[in-house]
Amino acid sequence: MAWTDLLAALALFLVLEGLLPFANPQGYRRSLASMLKLEERTLRTIGLLSILAGLLLLYFVRHGA
């Protein structure tokens, strides 16, 4: 993997992260407020599932399964 691939992935991540607050700032604010109410363990579980889903997607994209 080249550095350009990593930078392209970071750029795409930033674009996707910016979509929700740009398109629906009130909904984004409500989402963040509701996340503050979640327990730490729940947030860690969500983070782990997100990491695993990303790795799985990356594997399928790179290996053409």
Let me know if 28 is exposed, middle or buried by CB neighbors in 10 A (0-12, 13-18, 19+).
Answer: middle
User: How far, in Å, CA of 27 to CA of 21, rounded?
Assistant: 8
Residue 32 pLDDT: 94
The pTM assigned to this predicted structure is 0.74
User: How far, in Å, CA of 1 to CA of 46, rounded?
Assistant: 27
**pLDDT tens across 4-59, in order?**
988 999 999 999 999 999 999 999 999 999 999 999 999 999 999 999 999 999 89
Residue 64 banded pLDDT, cuts 50, 70, 90: confident
Query: Does residue 1 register a pLDDT over 70?
Result: no
User: How far, in Å, CA of 63 to CA of 59, rounded?
Assistant: 6
